[in-house]
Structure 1
């Protein structure tokens, strides 16, 4: 039986999860990280991207984190997130359309384009598509 660690996930709006977890996979600013019981302590920023965690019963939970901070201790990990999109609320067609729209805006030249906003929207759409494809592969 895998050892579990305590996982707390909260956003500015609500508590997402507080319980035991066997594994946590997050998208950090330097790439994907996998956290297990007794992990070396560290603190990092989270990028926009998918998060997966396996609870103590073995159920896989997933959603998109829209940035935040992860603190890891050997027996406790805490995510303070900006906001989340639950996997149940993902719409593949809408994500594909949002990605295409963002790419179309990037290809235009002009000074009235808010490139930071468009870049953020593109990152959210790409993260949604990554999670949707990962969930399809699991089926």
Structure 2
């Protein structure tokens, strides 16, 4: 019995399909979800959301949000989310460099927090995109 995974942002449905397993990055660590998991509500941190379908795995870069697990259904309401094949590596590298440059300028605490978040999001996007290109696994 598979899980139905749905990842949505305010703008769009990023992913919706049946999968065998989900691993998300929660505020307190990794959360592994298999079929028949107990109901759960969790706050997600910036990080990869991994899923397996058959013998193939893929990832979605998540920029924070919430996850609900209920009745073999995993719903992720993400602040930002990009499938690995959607990520523009050059753009993510530029975002990373821009955040690093601004952090080096000793910004105010408020600006520093925003730049820290931007840097973490860029790093996750790069990690997810590069892993896909390295493995070359096509996932429908």
Q: In the aligned structure 1, how far is the partner of 2:108 from the partner of 2:14? A: 39
With over 3 angstroms needed to count, the CA separation of the structure-2 counterparts of 1:110 and 1:36, relative to structure 1, is: closer
Q: In the aligned structure 1, how far is the partner of 2:69 from the partner of 2:50? A: 15
Q: In the aligned structure 1, how far is the partner of 2:45 from the partner of 2:119? A: 13
* TM, length-normalised to structure 2: 0.79
Unmatched 5+ stretches in structure 2: none
* TM, length-normalised to structure 1: 0.79
Aligned to 2:6: 8
Aligned to 2:125: 128
Q: In the aligned structure 1, how far is the partner of 2:35 from the partner of 2:104? A: 45
1:51 corresponds to which of 46, 49, 52: 49
Aligned-residue Cα RMSD (Å) equals 2.4
Cα shift at 1:113: 7.1
Q: In the aligned structure 2, how far is the partner of 1:113 from the partner of 1:78? A: 31
- Given that 1:13 and 1:83 are in contact with CA atoms closer than 8 Å, whether structure 2 keeps it comes out as no
